[in-house]
Amino acid sequence: MRPWALVPVLLAHSLWGQVRINELQCARSPGSDGKGANGDWVELYNVGTAAVDMAGSAFVIDGVSHKLKGPLMIAPRSRRVLWCDGDPKAGTDHLELKLPRTGGTLLLVAADKVSVLDLFHWPAMPAGCSIGRKEDGGRAWGFFDRPGPGAANNDRFAADKVLETPLITIEKGRLRIDLPQGASEVRYTLDFSDPDERSAVYATPLAASVGTVVRARAFAPGAIASGEAVFASGIPTGAWSLVIAPSDLQGPNGIADVPSGNFSRSGAEWQRQAWLQNGAGDGSATPIGLAIAGSGTRSLAKRNFKVFAKDRFGATDLLQTPDGSAYEEMILRADASPNAFLRNEFMNEVARRSGGNLDVQQAKAMPLYLNGEYQGLYRSMPAKNKAWAKDLNAGKPVELVDGAGPRAVSGGLKNYVALIQAMAADAGAEALDSIVDLNSLIDLACFDLWSGRGDHDLNVRCWRPRSDAGKWRWVLYDMDQWAPPEERTVQRLCATAVPETPFVPQLLNDPDLRNRLLARMSALLATTLSADRTAGLLDSLYDQHAEDMAQDYARWHDELEMPTSKVAKAEIADHLKGRNAPLMAQLRQTTGLKSRSITVAIEPAGAGTVLLENLPLTDDQRTVESFANVALHLLAVPATGMEFMGWKNAENTAPTLVLSGQRDERAVAVFRPSGSASKNALKQ
């Protein structure tokens, strides 16, 4: 490997301006100088004898110009620091500018937009160091291990190079650390702390026992120490490993120190440098940022984590999600409340099988290790933020609203307030259809009613394309707070004094919306939420995750209120068996509508499928409980090699059929082999 060498800057005579780039820092570590969320800053130095106003000049990086606003005076023989914190309201020395930690080229261009006053190139650098002129305004550049925004460069040592990060590999059960070119030694720690000049010197390969975590840096006289190499031993394939300094996790400044939940500890100041290692590969962990995530679950011993692949933490790649996409932020969901893991997995899969009207995060179940210690079963998923919502909208801008507050994550609240006002005014189906994806809202209402979700008013996230025709859609998540099967959920949700998602009383007050909700509920209870299909889904999910759930229980049952995996499955199974009938009875009582029985059959058996409200009835005969005067829509779909012939005892030969719900009915879809010449009578 070659050491990072300072790339010479071609300071031609035409670039030798009176005001020069004197020093910059593109990545801050705890305790080093820096200001703002990312710690970036640029220091300018006026070598002349007269003051200069830099207003109108600009920084240019990666082809993008960042104009400096005035007044921005720099006195003669003086420095002025420009903070790249994205807060221009704080003053003219605060810029909407980001300096890549992986290296870049920065130009200082005069107000005429043509003359280049200075040009500066820097390589990738570890956190906590800066790069600048060895003497204020001079020609020679170097690296500073003690950044000094606003301080004289002449009084500080500037190194000529930054060492490459060591490489840690595992061979025959031992950890080997390669000495980078130009380094005189590698120092390491085994207690998860940051390695420094006082740490142990690496000499021979180290024992790679399960849970061993090595953090290493390269050192040499006259050079800036390298970035950190981090490796955790014994991490099983498919697991994730997090490594973080103990003082950043616990203690006065630890992100997970407060038993009550750290509710006030949020934002960039409560994000910490950490490393993430995926699986049992032989590569070192990659640098990431880490924070505690969640709301009510913050007070539980098993914490949710938020992972950041941001430049200021040294990340060079985005985080890969289960569906193959990549994001800057991801959530490691602990599912620490009773039954949370299995319930969330169950409801997410039900939503997918129900046609995808609700947006569901792709999640991957995997074991998590923290500083070499097993932390139980987690789910990795993209954060429900603007980047994820934009991907749902083909990369185009969105408005994203979170919580019952509500809070605008992206865009404003104007259109969301209009939605709430329309609901409060009982605007009706026709008016709502122009601003709401009613299929999405109705599915959310059905799932909240079926599960009896107790925190439906808090776990709200919806988005709309940022366009005049954009309609609100909802995201399904945190479906762990189920009510008992007999709970009077319909009455509870209808008792709300103000409109709150999923707006059940407003949906039931309008006849058209009510009928759409009731028809969808009948279809769901006959298909994806039927007792037989839900039992099969539960068995499948349990078999897939039983071993991991058992290990999670063994890790946490002394610290958390949690059932065994078998009990968790049994409790869900009781809900599946006992929920549908009471729920239908509650809906009949609330709406005053009587029950209707619809039988749908296929002839001959296996010749096709019938869709009920766009959901497949997989049986050759299924009886559906519905409501009086609520129409149900059927669609006959022939199997391969078959064609639809018509509906028995009906004039209708089209594949679609609408049942009015005025009486109990039987609908038989008749199929025949494709190209058959026979025309059997259907009215038999």
Of the given ranges (295-299, 508-512, 597-601), which has the lowest mean pLDDT?
295-299
Strands (DSSP E) contained in 257-301 are 272-278, 286-293
Identify whether the C-beta of residue 531 lies closer than 8 Å to the C-beta of residue 577.
yes
370 plus 442 within the same structural domain: no
327 plus 337 within the same structural domain: yes
520 plus 616 within the same structural domain: no
Q: What is the mean pLDDT of the chain?
A: 90
Question: For 26-55, how does the pLDDT look when each residue is reduced to its tens digit (9 = 90+)?
Answer: 876 655 545 544 568 999 999 999 999 999
At residue 269, what are phi and psi to the nearest 5 degrees? -70, -15
Residue 253 in 3-state DSSP? coil
Q: CATH number, domain at 54? A: 2.60.40
Dihedral over alpha carbons 526, 529, 531, 535 (to 10 degrees)? 140
Question: For 484-493, how does the pLDDT look when each residue is reduced to its tens digit (9 = 90+)?
Answer: 999 999 999 9
The answer to whether residue 28 is domain-embedded is yes
Tell which of 570, 593, 616 closes a domain. 593
Q: Report residue 267's pLDDT band, with 50, 70 and 90 as the boundaries.
A: confident
Q: Which residues contact 443 (CB under 8 A, 6 or more apart)?
A: 351, 354, 355, 357, 358, 520
Q: Identify the DSSP state of 117.
A: E
- The total number of residues shown for the chain amounts to 684
Average pLDDT of the residues in 417-445: 95
Identify whether the C-beta of residue 144 lies closer than 8 Å to the C-beta of residue 127.
no
Q: What is the pLDDT of residue 418?
A: 95
pLDDT exceeds cutoff 60 at 115: yes
- d(CA 105, CA 82) in angstroms, rounded, equals 17
Q: Identify the DSSP state of 47.
A: -
176 plus 68 within the same structural domain: no
601 plus 587 within the same structural domain: no
Which span out of 145-149, 309-313, 405-409, 534-538 was modeled with the highest average pLDDT?
534-538
DSSP string, 630-642: --EEEEEEEPTTE
136 plus 171 within the same structural domain: no
Number of compact structural domains in the chain: 4
481 plus 525 within the same structural domain: yes
539 plus 636 within the same structural domain: no
The answer to whether residue 390 is domain-embedded is no
Average pLDDT of the residues in 218-238: 91
Q: Report residue 127's pLDDT band, with 50, 70 and 90 as the boundaries.
A: confident
Q: Report residue 124's pLDDT band, with 50, 70 and 90 as the boundaries.
A: confident
The answer to whether residue 386 is domain-embedded is no
Question: For 665-682, how does the pLDDT look when each residue is reduced to its tens digit (9 = 90+)?
Answer: 999 999 999 987 555 555
Tell which of 593, 617, 640 closes a domain. 593
What is the token pair recorded at 248?
Answer: 């950043």
- d(CA 559, CA 455) in angstroms, rounded, equals 23
Tell which of 113, 144, 162 closes a domain. 162
Average pLDDT of the residues in 66-76: 93
The answer to whether residue 387 is domain-embedded is no
573 plus 629 within the same structural domain: no
pLDDT exceeds cutoff 50 at 5: no
pLDDT exceeds cutoff 80 at 87: no
Identify the sign of the CA torsion 491, 496, 499, 500.
negative
Of the given ranges (112-121, 419-428, 546-555), which has the lowest mean pLDDT?
112-121
Q: Identify the DSSP state of 90.
A: G
The answer to whether residue 607 is domain-embedded is yes
The answer to whether residue 484 is domain-embedded is yes
Which span out of 3-12, 276-285, 397-406 was modeled with the highest average pLDDT?
397-406
Dihedral over alpha carbons 447, 452, 455, 456 (to 10 degrees)? 30
- Residue 500 amino acid letter: E
151 plus 255 within the same structural domain: no
The structure tokens 């870049």 sit at 104
Distance of CA 541 to the CA centre of its chain: 23
According to DSSP, the residues that pair with 635 across neighbouring strands are: 611, 656
pLDDT exceeds cutoff 90 at 186: yes
57 plus 100 within the same structural domain: yes
The answer to whether residue 385 is domain-embedded is no
Q: Report residue 613's pLDDT band, with 50, 70 and 90 as the boundaries.
A: very high
DSSP string, 545-564: HHHHHHHHHHHHTTTS----
Q: What is the pLDDT of residue 283?
A: 67
Provide the domain limits for residue 588.
396-593
Q: Of 256, 301, 300, whose CA–CA distance to 274 is shortest?
A: 256
DSSP string, 472-512: BEEEE-----PPPTT--HHHHHHT-SS--TT-HHHHHHSHH
555 plus 668 within the same structural domain: no
Question: For 311-344, how does the pLDDT look when each residue is reduced to its tens digit (9 = 90+)?
Answer: 778 787 899 887 788 999 999 999 998 899 999 9
> How many CA atoms lie within 13 Å of 518's alpha carbon, on the beta-carbon side?
31
Q: What is the pLDDT of residue 504?
A: 97
> How many CA atoms lie within 13 Å of 200's alpha carbon, on the beta-carbon side?
13
Q: Which residues contact 599 (CB under 8 A, 6 or more apart)?
A: 621, 622, 623, 624, 665, 666, 667
pLDDT exceeds cutoff 90 at 410: yes
Q: What is the pLDDT of residue 10?
A: 35
pLDDT exceeds cutoff 90 at 439: yes
Of residues 389 and 294, more confidently modeled: 389
The answer to whether residue 573 is domain-embedded is yes
Q: What is the pLDDT of residue 1?
A: 34
Average pLDDT of the residues in 581-586: 97
Question: For 358-385, how does the pLDDT look when each residue is reduced to its tens digit (9 = 90+)?
Answer: 999 999 999 999 999 999 999 999 999 9
Q: Report residue 2's pLDDT band, with 50, 70 and 90 as the boundaries.
A: very low
At residue 601, what are phi and psi to the nearest 5 degrees? -130, 160
Q: What is the pLDDT of residue 6?
A: 36
What is the token pair recorded at 152?
Answer: 């004289």
